[in-house]
Chain A
Amino acid sequence: MKPAPFTYERADSAADAAARLAEDGDAVAVLGGGQSLVPMMNLRLATPSRLLDITRAPDLARIERSNGHLEIGAAVRQAQAEDSPLVAGAVPLLHEALADVAHREIRNAGTIGGSVAHAEAAAEIPTVALTLDAEILARNARGTRTIAARDFFLSYLTTALEPDELLVGLRFPVAGPGSGGAFVELAARKGDYALVGVAAHVVLAGGRIERAALGYLGAGGTPLRAPAAEAALAGVTPTAEAFASAAAQAQDELSPPDDIHASSAYRRRVAGVLTRRALAVAVARARGEDPAKEEM
C-alpha cells in the first residue's frame, strides 16, 4: 500500500514544530510514532500534504518530576514510559495501563502525546489522563496553554487542539500517600482495543474513601468519567457493597456504543463488573497491599 504523496519534515524542537504548524496547520499532520496515523495514511483515510516528525526534538522527549507533578513530553515512546521508574513511582495507574496499549512492538514506536492527540475513545492513555485530571500542554507560535483533560476530548477522534497547536506534553499529578489505582480492561484478544475498560483512582483518609475517580474507555465517543458513582463513593467506608452500588450507578451513567464487537448492553454489564474489581484493587493498593488482579 502507498499513502498519498506528502513531504516529510523534521522538527528539531517544540518551538520549531510550532513555527512550522503556524505556516498552514490544516495541511500538516504531526507524526509521533505513527501507530495510528500511518495506518490511516496507508488506507488513505488521512492524506496530509506535509508530515511533521517531532520524535527527534529532544525537548519533547523528556520525563520530568517537579512540584507534585510528572510531566511527560509528547514524543516519549510508550515503551519508554512503561519502563521508566519515574512513571511507575509517580503515576502507577499510567504505568499499569501502558501494558495494555496494543503490543510491545507498537509501544516501541507509539508516543504518549500521539495517543492523546489521536483521542481514540477505547484507548488507555487518554482515559488515564482523564481519570487523573491530567493537564495537556499545547503550544503554538504565540505561546503555550494548559488544557484540563476534561475539556480536551470533545468527541470521537476530536480534541480541543487548534490546527496550529502542537501537543507538547502531559502533566500528571503525582500519586500521594493513601492513594491507589487500578486499570482493568476487557479485549477480545490481547493487544486489541478494549471492548470496555475502567481506570479507578481512590484516596483514603481515616479508613474512608475521601474521593474516587472512575474513567471509562470504550464506553462512548470519548473517554468518560462517572461523576454520580464517584460522588456516591465519597466519604463511605470501602466495602464490597459500596463498590457494587457504585458499579450499578456507573452502569446507569454510561451508554456505550453497539457495534459488531459487542452490544451496548454487554459493554454496560462488563463495565459494572470491571468497576467493582478495579475499586477493590485500588482500595487495597491505597492501603499498601499488593492484591491479585482478577483476570478477565
Chain B
Amino acid sequence: MTQVSMTVNGALCEVDVEDRRLLADVLREELGLTGTKLGCSHGVCGSCTVHVDGEPVRSCLRFAVQAEGCAIRTVEGLAGEDGELHPVQAAFWEAHGLQCGFCTPGFLMTAAKLAESGAPIDEDAARDLISGNICRCTGYSSIAQAVVAAARALQAADPAPAP
C-alpha cells in the first residue's frame, strides 16, 4: 500500500492505495465520487475523464499513485457549493445534451476545460472537441449544441480579453 496525498475538488485527500488501483476506481470506491464513470477501462470511451492539474485526462489510464501532489477535479466539482449548475451542466440540461447520463460526466469534463478557457467555439469545433467521448443514446448533435451554448454563456458572463 502507498499513501497518496492529492486534492480532489479543492479538498486535501489522503488515501492508502494498492499501487495497481486506477485513479477512477479510487475516486469512486475510496472517495465515494461515483459521478466519474468507467465504461471501457482502456481509454477509448471517455466516460472517466477528469481534470488533473487543470487538464482533462482519462482516469482509467492513470494509477492513483501517479496523482501524488496533483489537483483532481471531477464532475462533482463543477456545480457551485449552493448547488447552482456550472454553465456547461446548465447548457447540457437546456439543449437536451444527455439522455441516460452515463457518458455525461466525461463529456462535461472535456467540455468544461474548453468552455472555461473562453475560446469561441462553433459546432464543428465542438464536434472535434468531443470526438474522444462516446455516447450511445443521446446523439452527438444535441451534445455539440450544448457545448457551443456553454462556451457562449461563459463568454457572455466573463468575456475573454481581446487578443
Q: A interface vs B, CB < 8 Å? A: 1-8, 31, 33-35, 38-39, 42-43, 51, 53, 55, 79, 102-106, 108-109, 189-191
Taken residue by residue from 52 to 81, chain B's Cβ proximity to chain A (1 for < 8 Å, 0 otherwise) reads as 100111101111011000000000000000
Total inter-chain residue pairs, C-beta < 8 Å: 81
Tell me whether A104 and B43 are in contact (CB under 8 A). Answer: no
Residue of A nearest to B64 (CB): A8
A8 and B62 contact, CB distance less than 8 A: no
Contact indicator A8/B65 (Cβ below 8 Å): yes
Shortest B106–chain A CB gap in Å is 9
Inter-subunit contact B42/A3 (CB<8 Å): no
Q: Measured between alpha carbons, how far is A31 from B131 in the docked complex, in Å?
A: 26
Q: How far is the CA of A7 from the CA of B2 in the complex (A)?
A: 10
Measured CB to CB, the nearest residue on chain A to B65 is A8
> Is A109 a contact partner of B131 (Cβ separation < 8 A)?
no
**B136 in contact (CB, < 8 A):** no
When distances are taken between beta carbons in the complex, the residues of chain B under 8 Å from A1 are 22, 41-42, 60
Question: How near does chain B come to A198, taking the closest CB pair, in angstroms?
Answer: 22
- Shortest B111–chain A CB gap in Å is 11
Considering the chains assembled together, what is the distance between the CA atoms of A189 and B134 in angstroms? Answer: 12
Inter-chain contacts of B131 with A (CB < 8 A): 103, 189-191
- Give CA–CA (A78, B46) in the complex, Å: 18
What would be 24 A-B contacts, judged by CB atoms less than 8 Å apart? A2-B20, A2-B21, A2-B25, A5-B20, A8-B2, A34-B63, A34-B66, A38-B60, A39-B42, A42-B61, A103-B46, A103-B131, A105-B46, A105-B49, A105-B56, A105-B57, A105-B58, A105-B132, A108-B56, A108-B57, A109-B52, A109-B57, A109-B61, A190-B131
- Say whether A51 contacts B19, CB under 8 Å: yes
Q: Quick one: closest A residue to B19, CB to CB?
A: A8
Who on chain A is nearest to B63 by CB?
A8
Interface size class of B (residues with CB under 8 A): 20 to 34
**A5, A103, A106, A109 pick with most chain B CB within 10 angstroms:** A103
Contact of A104 among B20, B56, B61 (CB under 8 A): B56
Whether B132 pairs with A42 at a CB distance below 8 angstroms is no
B residues neighboring A (CB under 8 Å): 2, 18-22, 25, 41-43, 46, 49, 52, 55-58, 60-63, 65-66, 110, 128-129, 131-132
**Bound state CA distance, A4 and B55, in angstroms?**
28
Asked whether A104 and B41 contact (CB < 8 A) given A8-B2, A109-B62, the answer is no
Which residues on B sit within 8 Å (CB–CB) of A39?
A: 42-43, 61
Task: Tell me the minimal C-beta distance from B141 to chain A in angstroms.
Answer: 16
Chain A neighbourhood of B25, CB < 8 A:
2
Q: Is A42 in contact with B62, judged by CB distance below 8 angstroms? A: no
Q: Are B57 and A42 in contact (CB under 8 A)?
A: no
Other A-B contacts than A33-B61, A38-B62, A106-B132, 11 sampled, CB-CB below 8 A, are A1-B41, A42-B61, A51-B63, A103-B46, A103-B131, A103-B132, A105-B49, A106-B43, A109-B57, A109-B58, A190-B128
Task: Give, as a whole number of angstroms, the nearest-CB distance from B42 to chain A.
Answer: 4
Collect the chain B residues with CB atoms within 8 Å of residue A108's CB. Answer: 52, 55-57
Q: Is the CB of B60 within 8 A of A42?
A: yes
A202–B97 Cα gap in the complex (Å)?
Answer: 46
Chain B residues near A53 (CB-CB < 8 A): 66
Neighbouring A residues of B49 by C-beta, 8 Å: 105
Minimum C-beta distance from B34 to chain A (A):
17
Complex Cα spacing A53 to B64, Å: 13
* Contact (Cβ within 8 A) A34 B62: yes
Contact between chains at B61 and A6 (CB < 8 Å): no
Residues of chain A within 8 A (CB-CB) of B66 are 8, 31, 34, 53, 55
**B19 to A6, Cβ gap below 8 A?**
yes
Pairwise interchain contact B55-A79, C-beta atoms closer than 8 A:
yes
Contacts of B58 in A (CB 8 A): 35, 105-106, 109
Residue of B nearest to A108 (CB): B55
Q: Which residues of B contact A5 (CB under 8 A)?
A: 18-20
A38 touches B61 (CB 8 A): yes
A55 CA to B67 CA, complexed, in Å: 12
- Which of B22, B46, B63 neighbours the largest number of chain A CB atoms within 10 Å of its CB? B63
